Amino acid sequence: MTRSWHISTVTDAARARIATARLAAAYGVPPLERTRLAAALSGRLRQCLTKGGTWRLTVRAADGLLGLEVVSSSGAGEPAWRTTAPCPEPSDPSVCTDVADDPALLAEALLGADEDTALVLEKLAEQEQLVGFHREELHQTNQGVVALHAELDAAGRAQREAFSAERRARREAENARRRLTFLADASAALTASLNQEQIVRRLPELLVPEYARAVDVWLFDAESDRHPPAAHPAAAVLAARTGKPQYAAARPGGLPGIEDHPPSALDPTRPLLCVPLATRRAPLGVLTLTPPGERWDPDDAVMLVELTRRASTALDNARRFEHNRDIAETLQRALLTELPSTPGLRLAARYLPATYGLNVGGDWYDAFRQPDGSLIVVIGDVTGHGLHAAVMMSQLRTALRAYAVDGGSPGQLLTRLHLFLHHLQPDLYATAVIARFQPGEPLLTWAAAGHPPPVLRGPDGRVRTLDAKPGAMLGIPLRQEIADHTVHLAPGSTLALYTDGLVERRAQGIDPGIERLAAALGAFRTAELDRDLDGSAERILDPMLSDSERDDDVCLLLCHLDSAVSGSAEGR
């Protein structure tokens, strides 16, 4: 940047001096340097006007320096006058415009230039005060005994202040320990749940009455179109918009990192602390608190802001969990098979998600025909829960159907599934039971891989467990050939396939559950199973699942040969 002015009159000199001062301010020249620069330029311009003629003032800004140069326009041999001042580059050099010819504007600019002079005078006054202070210190030093007495008195006061400071430090340390303990316990309570409504209910329980008299949680997506939106304090709305904590009260709160505002029009008598429930993706809502007393301790306010941040994380985790759970459950239900209708063979299936926990696992069942007319029924369980387990369940189901097109016994199909899962997902495992009903043959062929054994009810009501040697879990790093097993089927027989969620309880293990299932299946009459197999499946589940909440999914698949079929399980 380079600017020049031609000076021949006092007015020209005044305009040039004002413009130079503005340029210096715009280019960030410090006030003291700006004052020295203006004073030096004024002195030089007075000399130029005394000598007469026309003079040229040039101002250049480059490389962090603002340079001034005054030379004679006539080139009369006068040496050039130069001076510089350090300056950063301006953010908006357009403010540096020429000074207008209006005398009123010139006068106003000249009066404004006195601000720099006033700053210099203020610095001089500070130096004068410092000199006076040192003069007084010297005078006190010369007082001898008076000074010694003052030192002794100061030492006594310092000792008393040290004792007082120690007591305050102990109190502050205890309060800090109390806050940290509360923050840790409250964080554990909030993050222990993946239910958004439960987290919202816990917040008032944790904060009232020690840290707040009342707590209001405003969640943005909780606003329903069926009801008029609730009124919220202006500070809460501002916190939602800016993402910064707000304090609304008649007097400023002076809380660290929290902006002060006038009292809320909705409740002007109570102070309000409004903290946004912010996450990395989007704000979730605002937490509004009223103090347990007249106002909050600043350290308590800092702790409340931190707790709100952790509550935001817990709410965000709960929302993402619920979203993934809904996707997985939708996927799993979409893949549950519509059971085929087969003359002489009835099928009924039930799938129930867990009542708490992740809710969606890898439980699945299927039933389909092979090219030779055989009916394949299968039930399985992929380890783990959530969307990943549901996706792997669907892949296993698809792979089994593809393998079954080539024929093969249940053991051979399970062996192929074992290799498929081991190569596809080496760190994921599954269990399964496959049974095959063949047309015109009173035999059931089945194979198991790490799965709870099938339960078979005979037409006479006697129940036995098909626990012949099963294969290991599918997908484990072990080469295995899973064996087939056969059992005779009489008309009126019922085969029950199930997942461990039906029979296993943490406190009891799996064997008592299998015994309960066998007892429930044996309690039916053959006519009941012939007439209403779906209702029978429901009546099996009711006593099996009434003891406690489930933390795993439940699958049950019943296969019943009509008692009217003569000596065979037809599967056409």
Which tokens is 375 given?
């009916």
Q: Where among 120, 138, 162 does a domain terminate?
A: 120
Residue 490 neighbours by CB under 8 Å, 6+ apart: 442, 458, 459, 561, 567
Length of the chain: 572
Q: pLDDT at residue 336 above 70?
A: no
Q: Which residue in 351, 334, 333, 396 sits closest to 499, CA to CA?
A: 351
- The answer to whether residue 52 sits within a structural domain is yes
Domain assignment present for residue 163? The answer is no
Residue 332 has pLDDT above 90, yes or no: no
Same domain, 381 and 265: no
Mean local confidence (pLDDT), 255-267: 89
Domain shared by 221 and 321, yes or no? yes
* Residue 199 in tokens: 């987290």
The percentage of the chain sitting over the pLDDT mark of 90, rounded to a whole number, equals 34
pLDDT of residue 566: 46
Residue with tokens 């040697």: 469
Look up tokens 């599967």; give the residue.
571
The pLDDT value recorded for residue 569 is 36
Q: Of 317, 292, 121, 98, nearest to 208 (Cα)? A: 292
Which helix (DSSP H) or strand (DSSP E) does residue 72 occupy?
strand 65-72
Answer with the residue of higher pLDDT: 206 or 89.
206
pLDDT, the chain, mean: 84
Q: Positive or negative, the Cα torsion across 147, 148, 149, 150?
A: positive
Domain boundary among 57, 89, 120: 120
If pLDDT is split at 50, 70 and 90, which confidence band does 571 have?
very low
Q: Are residues 424 and 299 in the same domain?
A: no
351 and 404 in a common domain: yes
Domain annotation covers residue 37: yes
What CATH number did the domain enclosing 35 receive? 3.30.565
Residue 29 has pLDDT above 50, yes or no: yes
504-526 burial by CB neighbour count: b if 16+ within 10 A, else e?
bbeeeeeeebbebbbebbbebeb
Tell which wins on pLDDT, 245 or 226.
245
259-261 vs 246-248, strand pairing mode: parallel
Q: How far apart, in whole angstroms, are the C-alpha atoms of residue 243 and residue 275?
A: 8
Predicted local distance difference test score (pLDDT) of residue 116: 66
Give the CATH number for residue 495. Answer: 3.60.40.10
Residues 256-295 as b/e (b if ≥16 CB within 10 A, e otherwise) read: eebbebebbeeeeebbbbbbbbbbeeebbbbbbbbbbeeb
pLDDT bucket at 194, cuts 50 / 70 / 90: confident
Q: What is the mean pLDDT of residues 12-38?
A: 84
Q: Which of residues 126 and 147 earns the better pLDDT score?
A: 126
pLDDT digits (tens, 9 = 90+) for 522-562: 999 999 999 999 999 999 988 887 655 556 788 999 999 98
- Label residue 355 by pLDDT band (50, 70, 90): low
pLDDT of residue 135: 80
Same domain, 538 and 489: yes
Q: Tell me how many helices (H) and strands (E) the chain has.
A: 13, 19
Asked whether residue 315 falls in the same domain as residue 394, the answer is no
Phi-psi region at 139: left, alpha or beta (left = phi > 0; alpha = psi -120 to 50):
alpha
Edge-to-edge strand list for the sheet holding 81-86: 2-7, 55-62, 65-72, 81-86
Least Cα distance to 366 among 347, 388, 345 occurs for 347
Mean pLDDT for the stretch of residues 507-515: 86
304 and 413 inside one domain: no
What is the token pair recorded at 492?
């009126």
In the prediction, which pLDDT does 570 show?
A: 35
Whether residue 227 lies inside any domain: the answer is yes
Contacts of 539 (CB under 8 A, 6+ apart): 520, 524
Candidate from 92-96, 216-220, 301-305, 379-383 with smallest mean pLDDT: 92-96
Question: What is the count of structural domains for the chain?
Answer: 3
Q: List pLDDT tens digits, range 136-162.
A: 777 777 776 676 777 888 888 888 888
Reply yes or no on whether the pLDDT at 100 is more than 70. no
Q: Cα 9 vs. chain centroid, distance in angstroms?
A: 70
Can you give the pLDDT at residue 444? Answer: 94
Give the confidence band of 310 by pLDDT, cuts at 50, 70, 90. Answer: very high
pLDDT band at 347 (very low <50, low <70, confident <90, very high): very high
One domain for residues 352 and 310: no
| 381-391 pLDDT, tens digit each | 988 766 677 78
The enclosing domain of 303 has a CATH number of 3.30.450.40
462-494 residue pLDDT tens: 999 998 889 999 999 989 999 999 999 999 999
Residue 449 zone, left/alpha/beta (φ > 0; ψ -120 to 50; rest): beta
> In the prediction, which pLDDT does 152 show?
81
Residues 322 and 346 reside in one and the same domain: no
Q: In percent, how much of the chain has pLDDT > 70?
A: 87
Cα–Cα nearest to 98, from 160, 41, 149, 26:
26
| pLDDT, position 245 | 93
For residue 514, what pLDDT band results from cuts at 50, 70 and 90? Answer: very high
* 6 contacts 72 by C-beta, under 8 angstroms: no
Cβ burial of 119 (10 Å; 0-12, 13-18, 19+) is middle
Q: Are residues 396 and 517 in the same domain?
A: yes
- Does 18 fall in a domain? yes
Q: Where does a domain end: 98, 120, 142?
A: 120
One domain for residues 238 and 312: yes
Task: For tokens 């006479």, name the residue.
Answer: 460
Name 161's Cβ contacts closer than 8 Å, sequence gap at least 6. none
pLDDT tier for residue 133 given thresholds of 50, 70 and 90: confident
Higher pLDDT, 76 or 65: 65
Q: Does one domain contain both 45 and 81?
A: yes
More confident residue, 98 or 338: 338
Interacting residues of 275 by C-beta distance below 8 A, sequence separation 6+: 239, 245, 286, 287, 288, 289, 304, 305, 308
What would the mean pLDDT of 433-455 be, rounded to a whole number?
A: 92
Which carries the bigger pLDDT value, residue 154 or residue 110? 154
Confidence band of 254 (pLDDT split at 50, 70, 90): confident
Q: Which domain holds residue 314?
A: 173-326
Q: Is the pLDDT of residue 94 over 70?
A: no
pLDDT of residue 102: 64
The three state secondary structure string of 507-528 is: CCECHHHHHHHHHHHHCCCHHH
Any domain includes 571: no
- Is the pLDDT at 58 greater than 80, yes or no? yes
Region of residue 246 (phi > 0: left; psi between -120 and 50: alpha; otherwise: beta): beta
| CA pseudo-torsion sign 85, 88, 89, 95 | negative
Checking if the pLDDT of 357 tops 70, the result is no
Residue 139 resides in a domain: no
111 domain-assigned: yes
